[in-house]
């Protein structure tokens, strides 16, 4: 995807940093396309939430992907590992999950479908249950 969109990893990182600058975010800087630990990149939970809201606004045609529990890519069946999507008591859309040594487990999603009138983004936070990658607190 990186090569298709930008031609190189460096060019894609430039696009990512340019995007967050246009959003007015000051607590995010990317240096890699994969988001794994490296020296230099940083972000905040607030900035990640703002990026999530911008993705929903700017790329609405891809929004349904965020609720997907399973998919096939390159003939390989994949299960979404965001445990919150599997909870029948919730009606949420996942945007980003991840785990790095420095950040721990984290989750960003859209909870506006909960019908509570709560803000669109339900959290960008470290999760407590490292084994399951679940966090409802």
Same-domain check for residues 107 and 65 = yes
Same-domain check for residues 121 and 66 = yes
Same-domain check for residues 99 and 72 = yes
Tell me the mean pLDDT in the region 101-130.
Answer: 62
User: Considering the domain boundaries, does residue 12 fall inside one?
Assistant: yes
Same-domain check for residues 29 and 66 = no
Give 74-104 pLDDT, tens digit per residue. Answer: 899 988 877 778 887 777 788 887 778 877 7
Under the banding of pLDDT at 50, 70 and 90, the label for residue 17 is very high
Give 32-44 pLDDT, tens digit per residue. Answer: 888 777 888 888 8
pTM of the full structure: 0.74
- Distance, in Å, from the CA atom of 125 to the CA atom of 57, rounded to the nearest integer, reads 21
Same-domain check for residues 80 and 116 = yes
Contacts 24+ apart (CB under 8 A), 30-33: 33/2, 33/9
Same-domain check for residues 66 and 123 = yes
Domain that holds residue 87: 61-137
Q: Is 121 helix (H, G, I), strand (E, B) or coil?
A: strand
How many domains is the chain partitioned into structurally? 2
């Amino acid at each position: 995807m990186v090569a298709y969109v930008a031609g190189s990893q460096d060019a894609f990182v430039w696009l990512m940093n340019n995007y967050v600058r246009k959003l007015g975010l000051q607590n995010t800087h990317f240096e890699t396309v994969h988001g794994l630990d490296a020296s230099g990149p940083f972000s905040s939970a607030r900035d990640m939430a703002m990026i999530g809201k911008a993705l929903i606004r700017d790329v609405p045609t891809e929004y349904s992907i965020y609720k997907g529990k399973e998919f096939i890519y390159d003939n390989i069946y994949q299960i979404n590992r965001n445990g919150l999507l599997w909870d029948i008591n919730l009606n949420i859309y996942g945007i980003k999950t991840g785990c790095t040594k420095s950040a721990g487990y984290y989750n960003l999603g859209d909870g506006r479908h909960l019908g509570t009138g709560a803000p669109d983004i339900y959290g960008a936070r470290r999760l407590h249950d490292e084994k399951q990658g679940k966090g409802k607190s």
